[in-house]
Structure 1
Amino acid sequence: MTTISEGVDAGRLERRLRAEIAGDVAFDAGARALYSADASNHRRVPTGVVLPRSVEDVLATLALCHEDGVPVTMRGGGTTIAGNAIGPGVVLDTSRYLNRILDVDVQNRTAVVEPGLVLDVLRRRIAPDGLDFGPDPSTHSRCTIGGMLGNDACGSHSIAWGTTSDNTDGLDVVLADGTRLALGPTKKDEWLRKAAEPTREGRLYADLRNLVDSNLALIRTTFGQFSRQISGYPLHRLLPEQHGQLARALVGTEGTCAVVLGATLHLNRAPRSRALVVLGYADAIAAAAAAPAIIPLKPLTIEGIDQALVNALLTRGRKPAPLPTGHAWLLVEVGGETPAEAADAAAKLAKAVPGVPRIVTDPAEMRSFWRIREEGAGLATRMADGSEAWPGWEDSAVPPERLADYLREFADLTDEFGYQGVTYGHFGEGCVHVRLDFDLVSIVGRDRYQAFLHRAAQLVLKHGGSPSGEHGDGIARSALLAEVYSPEAVAVMGAFKRAFDPTGALNPGVIVDPPAVNEMIRIAYTPKLLPVNGFSYAEDGGEFDRAVRRCVGVGKCRNDHTPGGVMCPSYQATGDEKHSTRGRSRLLLEMLRGEVITDGWQSDEVAEALDGCFSCKGCLSDCPVNVDMATYKAEFLYQRYKGKLRPAVHYAMGWLPVALRGAALAPRVANAVTAFEPAAALMKKVAGIAQERSVPRFATGGTFKQRLRRRFGRRADPAAAHRAEHPRRTTRRGDGAAAPGRKEVLLWPDTFTQFFDPQIGEAAVEVLAAAGFVVRVPKGELCCGLTWISTGQLDVARAVAKRTLDALEPHLDAGIPIVGLEPSCLANFKHDLPALLPDDPRAKKLAALSITLAGLLERDAPDWTPPLTERPAITQIHCHQHAVLGDKPDRSLAAQAGVDLTVLDSGCCGVAGNFGFEAGHYEMAQAAGERVLLPAVRAASPETIVLADGFSCRTQIRQNTDRDAHHLAEVLAGRLRTRGSTADG
């Protein structure tokens, strides 16, 4: 095979690309770092990255790269675990722009799409017509059709609808030399006619015909032996009995033969209703042994999960739906045109199998089961004991009837090597996913890893299987093909590659001429930066790099849309990889590595990417491995500005609690100044605040504490005062009667309630007093320290936190619950302060005692009922509440108050603390708000209550709609207010 030129003039190529194409061209260190890895163990730093806006851009890029001898690797969502979306030359990412649905033919059940289209976008488009695209890998919310074509993706329903190749009717492709081809089924006489033409296309057809004719027996007995034989090239698709399916022969070639410009897909009729039968077994081997007997019952899926995967879920604070007795389970899905039909099908299947299965028909509960299965790749990365596990031998497959025997011997092999892991997968098709705790850092560990993979390949060959059952070979497994295929078969695959790509320009080193499996390991590096951490990273052994390494690239942060999720609002707003949680993790790791990004904490590339992070903490809960980018951003800012002058906005927003105390001395004057446009514009310019953003109005009727003193004097028991004011209260529903017994609580006077929305604090006091609590408010001007944390001023934040802990110490020692009204402050108590002050036991006490208003009432005053409101409401859940606190008690109490509550599936509001106020962020903040929240508020009827417990959320709503937003405390107190009363009290 011809060697590609190594001495490429990258600058010249970049200039020519910029001149020739309309798409994005990036050869800078940041872009190269972003695209150096996918979801595999491997790393290849590209020369540059191109995001084409059109087919013409792709063609022009290929032409220039061909002229300069630069290899090209195609990339979609970058979610592959095999290392087949990373390359040494130019990476062509189609996901940003080349992602349209070009045509849907409902009658003939076909769709014509571009390669960058996300699978779920297609599925949502065709669902109203009762159609689906059968292959549905667990990454369906962010994987692209092009990536599925590259890897011959399968997913959970392949037992019913086949793999991607089974559902591909035609391809529009271009070869590395610019030859464009329209491919589909080709009859023998048409093939011979094309092979006779004196063109590049003619030579291709002739070479392929000679290849097949010369190797008929080898191809028939080697390739396509069972449905999940994905490793290598699918040469059986070229056989005469397969009608010369050249398009399908290219599916699964991992971008090594041709570049896909478009695809015609076959669509499936989907059942309108589904039900799930959950079966319990002693272990994964027993579950695998049971699967073949279920296949003849024609279910839609037979998926396996084991106890280790469930344990990984539990360690992340997530409780799965109830499972039948056992340590491994099969999830068997059936369907019907109606819920009754689906339930009937489930009942029939349950009777036909042994054991005591659970039948699940509730859609929400079914989603909770599928979430375990679909997040397996991420969940399995960190095991219950905190150890790291990695792909590598991720998705081997054998015929289903051999799976139990294979798993039994595989367990012996992992025991021999001392590896442990998590097992799950598509048991109905003999495909098993496993992540093992390989040592990929040390040289000895990587050599042992290589030895294990070769032994595993020999084992899978023994059972008639394939090293890959759906993700392809990539860098991870291509070197194993010589173990599972004969030298003759390997030679035929090489000839197939050369027929399409004689110079090896497309995705070199994948499938043909591969590197060793232990080369290019991205985890194998010595960090150039070993910081004195600002946070403890206790769950990551105190190591910042290990914390960042939680991201393995599965890309859930790139979701097209996940119902009920928050992560990642900046990516949702921009579609830019550097604004995804994964992208930022990649940049941080490359910064620590110090090879591509060489200026460490002073890296402008990393700073720019993190500047777009909302610090919403959505990734903390939504990421399967709990990446905490808000904390990593604070750490970066802390390290970057140590001993240096900071941006003005860090002082303006970081020291906001101090500034507000001064403004509160004359709130009307402060409001007048901020309302006077010239003065406000100058102030915002100096402070680094977005000119488009209005400064919230200060409460003019006094701060929360001042109002409290006026109302109750110096009495420390508002509950007693409440009872004195309302001596005739009864226990009738709607009167807010006091619960029996009295318990002391501390109400935290957060900065925003104190200075902007004191009426919320008053409402909370009323509710707590009515529920029978003795309400205390701490003395002095205290703060949780969040604004200093979010701006990376961690030393100041520590000092502020210690001062707060000093003041709260008597309450902490007494075990008094601390009720927070502002979700961000409360989340800071529960999550950030223990990591900021790991050696101060008071921080852990504070975390344990902190609770939401609704959480306290549900736990300690279960018999108290709020006043009836009986109105519809929509609510925006604060990001930090979503990530750290949860909102189930809030929903329950709203229901008790007669509120018909709709929880908006809106993600982050956009303001996100200081983010939405900082100059340069307004456009992104507004884009986040306009996704769901702001249109929903504008469309709400006048009688609909708009609920938002977070000050940021209320600010976004107030500044962009004509509606006010209220705290749940106001609803529970039965004292909703008009918009004009917010500032004046």
Structure 2
Amino acid sequence: MRDTLRRHLAGQVAGEIAVDPASLALYTTDASNYRHPPLGVLLPRDAEDVRAAVATCRELDVPIVARGGGTSIAGNACGPGLVVDTSRYFAGVRELDPESRTARVAPGTVLDDLQAAAAPHGLRYGPDPSTHSRCTIGGMIGNNACGSHSVAWGRTADTVRELDVLLYDGTRMTVGRTSPPELDARTALPGTEGRVYRELRDLVRGNLALLRTELSTWPRRVSGYGLEHLLPENGFDLAKALVGSEGTCVTVLGAELELTELPRHRVLAVLGFTEDVAAADAVPAILPAAPLTVEGVDAELVGLLAAARTEDLPAGGAWLFVEFGGDEPGEAEQRAHRLAAELGEAITGHLVLTDPAAQRRLWRIREEGAGLATRRADGSEAWPGWEDAAVPPERLGGYLREFKRLMRRHGRSSVVYGHYGEGCLHLRLDFDLLSESGIAGFRSFVEEAADLVAAHGGSLSGEHGDGQARSELLPRMYSARALELFERFKAIFDPDGRMNPGVLVEPRAVDANLRVRTASPELERRTFLGYPEDHGSFGEAMRRCVGVGKCRNTSGGGVMCPSYRATREEQHSTRGRAHLLAEMINGELITDGWRSKEVHEALDLCLSCKGCLSDCPVDVDMATYKAEFYHQHYRRRLRPAAHYSMGWLPLWLRAAALSPRLAGAVTARPRAAALLKRLGGIAPQRQLPAFARTPFTRARRDLCRGPDPAAPRPVLLWPDSFNNYFTPRVLEAAAEVLGAAGYQVVLPERGVCCGLTWVSTGQLGVARRVLRRTVEVLRPYLDAGYRVAGLEPSCTALFRGDLGHLLPGDGTATLLAERTHTLAELLAEADPPWRGLDLDAVSQVHCHQHAVLGFTAEERVMAEAGIRSSTLDTGCCGLAGNFGFERGHYEVSLACAEDRLLPALRETPAETLVISDGFSCRTQIAQESDRTAVHLAEVLQDGLRRR
């Protein structure tokens, strides 16, 4: 059927059609627990593509599954049919009218893009899910998304004025609020449109009492269909009724949305409570103050974010983030302080933040909750099997108490966070979804949880829809008669049940089609790396990615994921690669295991930047997984030339250092350089770095000595291959600066290497041997109390991170990781003799430093030295070690640099210093701009010499 579907679609659509195993693997799941291999994937370019696709599916009797950003946690964006992904091309703000405060958008429009278009007019779109940087308007319409500000600005259903929709039979309709005369006119129309309105009118007239009672207008009743919007007093609004229908009735081709006015001033009050239940109890007292939002987090969630610290918050075990807006300066701040005073002893403390940057730091905790909560503090796994249920806010405290008793009875636990202001809690529980008994326990728990929500007058879904996660449980919330109306409503639009089947009506079982899998014992035995954060299991590491899709962010900051930002293709996102690796383990679509060409193709454009290790809420480490895959993929096979040329670079550099002038003369000759690049698999567009005349380790043999146990403040300066053989001036500068700061500096007596280039090319056996030798050389220094100063961030980060994967359980390796520091971390402990440098600078942070080491010490040292430095949020430079030098990668490497770095440098005044500690970053800047970047050590050395 897949080939038949592809043939029928070919020539009918301008968008991309895919039925290959890799594409299908990318779309087997969303951010839920469920897995459904599709028949095919379509990336339509416009409404005409969607129309043609639906016509083809109707001809072949193939189901349609609409999809936006794929961030749904309910299992309503994956299914066994044609997945229509509008997020790639069918996107954009078509029209924005500031006077009427409306916008017309295509379904694939990312929410942040709409917000960016509205902001210059002082407007915004009200609903704001935590996935705002990648979720699409079509997806928000599908599951009636709400977000943190819905307490003030409503749900998606409250903001939709008009929808352009397509039925499975090919009928296209524009729907919205319908007056009685207009309803009469539409029921008289011929064909499908007239039938739809006639049958809807009959459905409403025959069930007015039920619609007015059981289908309440309580804001967070998202489960089921929104039939209450068809009541006469609600304007028979078919657009609003279709919001939250999860693609089971129509395909959305466009929408007209209402925008809201931004308050001129906003403040964030952070209220502390003893525990989450106490915070829930306080909500009814807070709502009369008319806040913009009331969001809750508990201490465990805060602790899961490395950058967050409970000491930055008021005392307590749980907190409410309460935002206020105002048109006049000070108005919102006064309201926040007034609320805190009124709550009195109910709170354990409070603070009021007026600084937007400080507010954003706290909002990050809340926004990343869906990912953070996937791993508990002890490393155990948690799942979204019971998420987003809501109860009326006045019942929230009682519901949470009983829910926690339910968890204890079942031996389950969860962090607690969510939209407290509307009674909607997000809970990820430590279900056992790997065993039959565990899955049975999962089913028992969600059944009892559904009964508990219903008993409190709540909704199984407070946002994100029902999907497969909750549709089967709807009889526990609704009467049989209401469920019959749901079936009747769907049948009016989709009588053959081809629109996202198995959701809402005739649902699949809540415990069927689970995607959670274990790796086979054979695969676990064969894996090379240690995976200490995943209990030594590659399979557990592969379960880290739950699909929240932060790696698909193209509008915000951070590093992750540079190749996706360059290509906008799902397979080049961290999530896409993780899904392919998971499907490799599964073995159904990707059948050749470690030899998989599909996985290899996706990983080929992974820069190994490690941005995902810090920017992904669940610390997916794709660079490590790539190294493992390459190691297995090329086992006993010939490797690409670049793996021999750049993977073995430290040895070639050592050989070249025997006659650096000869080596430099050869690489400087165009023909010789071109031949070397061709033989070495190096991109012809790249310039080969110039060799230093004398390596630092040879020039400063006086520093090459053994450990002195009596030495004061001893430091071993790490002679990384990049600085040692290409830019020894950096090591010289560091030695001078460390000496001036009171450290006694030595170099190792014997040659050492961190093995980075072998790790990045997946030559892990060699890397382990190199590291074992290095650890043995460094053992006496570490035993004598020496610390290690790293100048190259990638090498320093390897000691602090990947060393544990390569030498798990090695005590000396653990000590090396603990004793390794950046130059700035060591200088931050000293009383520096350099001050008052009076320099303006911008700093480009190396990806590995961003991900593993942090940049706080560097910012502090520069500030104390009198360097007015702005840390650029420019992401990956695009060179990323060997990646940007490899043949076939130059265009992507340059695109990564052009994403943010190079434009930022062009806007930087010529007299402003560019500081970058990474050799790759400095090389990319030198080769692709007219600027020259310097290492922080060089800047501080210059400051010393100018004293």
Q: Same fold (TM over 0.5)?
A: yes
Q: CA deviation at 1:15?
A: 1.9
1:634 to 627, 639, 650: 627
1:511-551 C-alpha deviation (Å, 9 max, x unpaired)? 01101100000004563733422111122111101011111
* Alignment correspondent of 1:586: 579
* Aligned mates of 1:551, 1:114 — CA distance in 2: 28
2:713 pairs with 1:743: yes
1:609 to 596, 599, 602: 602
* TM-score normalised by structure 2 residue count: 0.97
Q: CA deviation at 1:678?
A: 2.5
Summarize the alignment of residues 135-146 of structure 1 with structure 2, pairs less than 5 Å apart. 135-146=127-138
8 Å contact kept, 2:389–2:458: yes
* Alignment correspondent of 1:421: 414
* Alignment correspondent of 2:524: 530
* Structure 1 residue runs without a partner (length 5+): 1-8, 719-740, 978-985
* Alignment correspondent of 2:791: 821
* Alignment correspondent of 1:734: none
* Alignment correspondent of 1:334: 324
Q: CA deviation at 1:681?
A: 2.0
* Alignment correspondent of 1:983: none
SS in 2 for 1:334: strand
8 Å contact kept, 1:115–1:263: yes
* Aligned mates of 1:123, 1:897 — CA distance in 2: 40
2:460 pairs with 1:467: yes
* Aligned mates of 1:458, 1:477 — CA distance in 2: 12
* Alignment correspondent of 1:907: 875
* Alignment correspondent of 1:953: 921
* Alignment correspondent of 1:781: 751
1:17 to 9, 27, 41: 9
2:828 pairs with 1:877: no
* Alignment correspondent of 2:541: 547
* Structure 2 residue runs without a partner (length 5+): none
Q: Aligned in 2, Cα 1:671/1:458: closer, same or farther, shift over 3 Å?
A: same
* Alignment correspondent of 1:963: 931
Q: Aligned in 2, Cα 1:112/1:85: closer, same or farther, shift over 3 Å?
A: same
> What is the identity, as a one-letter code, of the residue corresponding to 1:116?
G
SS in 2 for 1:353: helix
8 Å contact kept, 1:320–1:368: no
Q: CA deviation at 1:938?
A: 2.7
Q: Which stretch shifts more, 649-658 or 968-977?
A: 968-977
* Aligned mates of 2:704, 2:875 — CA distance in 1: 42
8 Å contact kept, 1:946–1:964: yes
2:481 pairs with 1:488: yes
* Aligned mates of 2:309, 2:664 — CA distance in 1: 47
> What is the identity, as a one-letter code, of the residue corresponding to 2:314?
P
8 Å contact kept, 2:295–2:321: yes
2:783 pairs with 1:793: no
* Aligned mates of 2:550, 2:216 — CA distance in 1: 32
* Aligned mates of 2:671, 2:505 — CA distance in 1: 67
* Alignment correspondent of 2:221: 229
8 Å contact kept, 1:717–1:774: no
2:378 pairs with 1:398: no
8 Å contact kept, 1:170–1:247: yes
Q: Aligned in 2, Cα 1:714/1:251: closer, same or farther, shift over 3 Å?
A: closer
Q: CA deviation at 1:69?
A: 0.6
* Alignment correspondent of 2:88: 96
Q: CA deviation at 1:713?
A: 8.3
SS in 1 for 2:323: strand
* Alignment correspondent of 1:71: 63
Summarize the alignment of residues 974-985 of structure 1 with structure 2, pairs less than 5 Å apart. 974=942
Q: CA deviation at 1:342?
A: 2.9
* Aligned mates of 1:666, 1:166 — CA distance in 2: 74
Q: CA deviation at 1:102?
A: 0.4
* Alignment correspondent of 1:3: none
1:483-531 C-alpha deviation (Å, 9 max, x unpaired)? 1111110010011001111111111111011011000000045637334
* Aligned mates of 2:120, 2:469 — CA distance in 1: 39
* Aligned mates of 1:500, 1:638 — CA distance in 2: 52
8 Å contact kept, 1:402–1:463: yes
* Alignment correspondent of 1:721: none
Q: Aligned in 2, Cα 1:896/1:153: closer, same or farther, shift over 3 Å?
A: same
SS in 1 for 2:270: strand
2:233 pairs with 1:265: no
* Alignment correspondent of 1:923: 891
2:889 pairs with 1:895: no
8 Å contact kept, 1:388–1:437: yes
Q: CA deviation at 1:321?
A: 5.8
Q: Aligned in 2, Cα 1:415/1:713: closer, same or farther, shift over 3 Å?
A: closer
SS in 2 for 1:877: coil
Q: Which stretch shifts more, 21-30 or 820-829?
A: 21-30
8 Å contact kept, 1:568–1:581: yes
8 Å contact kept, 1:20–1:60: yes
* Alignment correspondent of 1:725: none
* Aligned mates of 1:336, 1:973 — CA distance in 2: 50
Q: CA deviation at 1:872?
A: 1.4
* Alignment correspondent of 1:569: 562
* TM-score normalised by structure 1 residue count: 0.93
SS in 2 for 1:357: strand
Summarize the alignment of residues 81-160 of structure 1 with structure 2, pairs less than 5 Å apart. 81-160=73-152
* Alignment correspondent of 2:800: 830
1:275-299 C-alpha deviation (Å, 9 max, x unpaired)? 1111122221111111011101000
* Aligned mates of 2:320, 2:632 — CA distance in 1: 48
Q: CA deviation at 1:654?
A: 0.8
8 Å contact kept, 1:275–1:343: yes
Q: CA deviation at 1:307?
A: 2.2
Q: Which stretch shifts more, 644-653 or 80-89?
A: 644-653
1:89-119 C-alpha deviation (Å, 9 max, x unpaired)? 1101111111111011011101111111110
* Aligned mates of 2:888, 2:649 — CA distance in 1: 19
1:291-313 C-alpha deviation (Å, 9 max, x unpaired)? 01110100011111112212323
Q: Aligned in 2, Cα 1:306/1:335: closer, same or farther, shift over 3 Å?
A: same
Q: CA deviation at 1:330?
A: 1.1
* Aligned mates of 1:779, 1:187 — CA distance in 2: 87
SS in 2 for 1:394: coil
* Aligned mates of 2:556, 2:930 — CA distance in 1: 29
* Alignment correspondent of 2:776: 806
Q: CA deviation at 1:854?
A: 0.4
8 Å contact kept, 2:519–2:539: no
8 Å contact kept, 2:704–2:749: no
SS in 2 for 1:510: coil
* Aligned mates of 1:713, 1:501 — CA distance in 2: 79
Q: Pairwise CA RMSD of aligned residues?
A: 1.7
Identity percentage over the alignment? 56
* Aligned mates of 1:98, 1:670 — CA distance in 2: 53
* Alignment correspondent of 2:823: 853
> What is the identity, as a one-letter code, of the residue corresponding to 1:163?
R
8 Å contact kept, 1:72–1:89: yes
SS in 2 for 1:304: strand
* Aligned mates of 1:876, 1:935 — CA distance in 2: 13
Q: CA deviation at 1:671?
A: 2.8
SS in 2 for 1:97: coil
Q: CA deviation at 1:704?
A: 1.4
2:907 pairs with 1:939: yes
1:568-621 C-alpha deviation (Å, 9 max, x unpaired)? 111111111111111111111110111111100001000111111110011111
* Alignment correspondent of 1:43: 35
1:353 to 327, 332, 343: 343
> What is the identity, as a one-letter code, of the residue corresponding to 2:334?
D
* Aligned mates of 2:241, 2:786 — CA distance in 1: 68
> What is the identity, as a one-letter code, of the residue corresponding to 1:368?
R
8 Å contact kept, 1:684–1:691: yes
Q: Aligned in 2, Cα 1:525/1:885: closer, same or farther, shift over 3 Å?
A: closer
* Aligned mates of 1:397, 1:628 — CA distance in 2: 34
Q: Aligned in 2, Cα 1:358/1:120: closer, same or farther, shift over 3 Å?
A: same
Q: Aligned in 2, Cα 1:274/1:320: closer, same or farther, shift over 3 Å?
A: farther
8 Å contact kept, 2:519–2:538: no
Q: CA deviation at 1:317?
A: 6.2
* Alignment correspondent of 1:659: 652
* Aligned mates of 1:451, 1:716 — CA distance in 2: 64
